[in-house]
Amino acid sequence: MSGKSYNVPPSAEFVARVSGIATMAKLPFQETAEGLDAAFIGVPIDTGTSNRPGARFGPRQIRAESAMLRPYNGGTRAAPYESLMVADIGDVNVNLYDLKDTCKRIREAYRKILKTGCIPLTMGGDHTIAYPILQAVAERHGPVGLVHVDAHSDTGDVILGEKIGHGTPFRRCVEEGLLDCSRVVQIGLRGSSYSPDAYAWSRAQGFRVVQADECWHKSLVPLMAEVREQLGAGPVYLSFDIDALDPAFAPGTGTPEIAGLTTIQGVEIIRGCRGLNIVGCDLVEVSPPYDATGNTALLAANLLFEMLCVLPKIKYYN
Ligand SMILES: N=C(N)NCCCC(=O)O
Ligand SMILES: [Mn+2]
Ligand SMILES: [Mn+2]
């Protein structure tokens, strides 16, 4: 092992889970991304939501439930803290009274994070945040590939007279050339729709659309082999809306849709991203006020850990 010493969260074998400051995975906190390979960061907004609010409390609750996380991945034998310097760098200072100003603040914050070479793992907050994050990502990496896991395509144009909200981020991204559209896949789309051919716009851009009913009763391991082929070696952003999963697994979210993916399929999708050149990830739309048991936030914390475990340069014991 290299002589470098990495941040390692305290183990519950020696430090009680309930003690200490609730950073993500109980990792050290630091103000900036300087010196980090990867960082967890919160964006506590829900002013872009169109139904149930509450996602502004997502980062705090995900951090609270992340106390369950242990240092190694028992399933894949990934050893993130033996190969990456990781910390929690807090939250973007959002403007709860102005969504456009919040997008500006997010864009500026992520410009600084990405400039250090750090890979951001973002805790939302509603899905609006993917737009300003991808503006900053594309400034650094050029148009990127996208693995978008969601019940919704989030490609709306104007909703309630507004272009900015959680139903429109990926249309804004396409308009601004932030995505390499032939390297975009949307997985889990379902539900009632505003038009008879709900995903025509996505497909017209060249996205691959995998609707939830194409996933029912199936392992998604074969699909992810096709996704790795489609996305190739170029930079990729992973955006995971927790409502991609069925409300039975993820009830604490603002726009639930029935007949969704299982938790196992969610993990298969993320693990299937191993080998991709991931430059950023997010996990959005956890709404703690609708998450009576905290299990949606716990699920989110585990999925974020799985994302950490598929980043480039991760060490595996196998
Ligand atoms: N949850 C997200 N990100 N989008 C939901 C959009 C719901 C709608 O516009 O009908
Ligand atoms: Mn959604
Ligand atoms: Mn979404």
**Residue located nearest, by CA, to atom 5 of ligand 1:** 167
pLDDT of 318 reads 85
**Residue located nearest, by CA, to atom 6 of ligand 1:** 167
Residue 156 in contact with ligand 1 by CB distance below 6 A: yes
Ligand 1 atom nearest to CA at 159: 9
pLDDT tens-place string over residues 88-119: 999 999 999 999 999 999 999 999 999 999 99
Q: How far, in Å, from the CA of 247 to the mean position of ligand 3?
A: 14
Q: How far, in Å, from the CA of 202 to the mean position of ligand 1?
A: 15
pLDDT tens-place string over residues 281-299: 999 999 999 999 999 999 9
d(CA 130, CA 234): 19
d(CA 96, CA 125): 11
Beta carbons of 239 and 283 less than 8 angstroms apart? no
**Residue located nearest, by CA, to atom 10 of ligand 1:** 167
**% of the chain with per-residue pLDDT over 70:** 99
Mind spelling out the 3-state secondary structure of 35-60? CCCEEEEEECCCCCCCCCCCHHHHHH
Say whether 130 sits in a helix, a strand or coil: helix
CATH architecture assignment, domain 24-308: 3-Layer(aba) Sandwich (3.40)
pLDDT of 119 reads 98
pLDDT of 1 reads 47
Specify the long-range contacts of residues 219-223, CB closer than 8 Å, at least 24 apart: 219/265, 219/268, 220/187, 220/261, 220/265, 220/268, 220/269, 220/272, 221/268, 221/272, 223/187, 223/269, 223/272
C-alpha dist (Å) from residue 212 to 2, 191, 243, 262: 43, 9, 12, 10
Residue 127 in contact with ligand 1 by CB distance below 6 A: yes
Average pLDDT, the chain: 98
ipTM (interface pTM): 0.96
- Parse the chain into domains and list their residue ranges: 24-308
Ligand 1 atom nearest to CA at 51: 7
For 136-156, the DSSP string reads: HHHHHHSSEEEEEE-SS----
Q: How far, in Å, from the CA of 243 to the mean position of ligand 2?
A: 5
Residue 257 in contact with ligand 1 by CB distance below 6 A: no
